[in-house]
Amino acid sequence: MHLAYPAVLAVLLFCVGLYGVLARRNAILVLISVELMLNAVNLNLVAFDVWLRDELHAGQALTLFTIAIAAAEIGIGLAIVLLVYRNGGTADVDKLRDLSERADAPKGAAGSDEQDEQDEKAEAAA
């Protein structure tokens, strides 16, 4: 087996995933792009394992660990995205802010300095 074919395919998959992470605004599409990048790494691990004729099959064992980590990442990531969508009403990554920066954040909470300044300006104007 030529090593160039799976390596080129892995590079293409990784580049598509990297483009998706950098260019997309939807959090679910970003998670899918991360999965594409992890699959490119898995393809490289298996291809080099076959090419090197490793007796321990370390590449395939690492691929199994990577698949398990990807499954846990997508489960937790999707739960976080759904929670943020339920609370904020959007899955746009650019519009997401820290939860403590909401308008109803209590005074003195971390990240609510802007809200405190706006409250002081409103009190001074009144």
Q: Where are the domains of the chain?
A: 4-95, 98-126
What is d(CA 27, CA 46) in angstroms, rounded to the nearest whole number? 29
Task: State the CB neighbour count (10 A cutoff) for residue 75.
Answer: 10
d(CA 39, CA 50): 17
- How far is the C-alpha of 84 from the C-alpha of 97, rounded, in Å? 10
Indicate the residue type of 68: A
pLDDT at 7 over 90: yes
Which residue from 67, 45, 40, 66 is spatially nearest to 56, judged by alpha carbons? Answer: 45
Bridge-partner residues for 92, per DSSP? 26
73 token code pair: 């990442």
Would you identify the CATH topology of the domain 4-95?
Helix Hairpins (1.10.287)
Q: pLDDT tens digits, residue range 59-111?
A: 999 999 999 999 999 999 999 889 888 887 888 887 776 555 555 555 554 55
- Global pTM reads 0.71
Compute the mean pLDDT over every residue in the chain, rounded to the nearest whole number.
84
Question: Quick one: what percent of the chain has pLDDT higher than 90?
Answer: 54
Q: What pLDDT, on the 0 to 100 scale, is given for residue 107?
A: 53
Tell me, what's the pLDDT at 104? 56
pLDDT score for 116: 65
Q: What is the CA radius of gyration of the chain?
A: 22
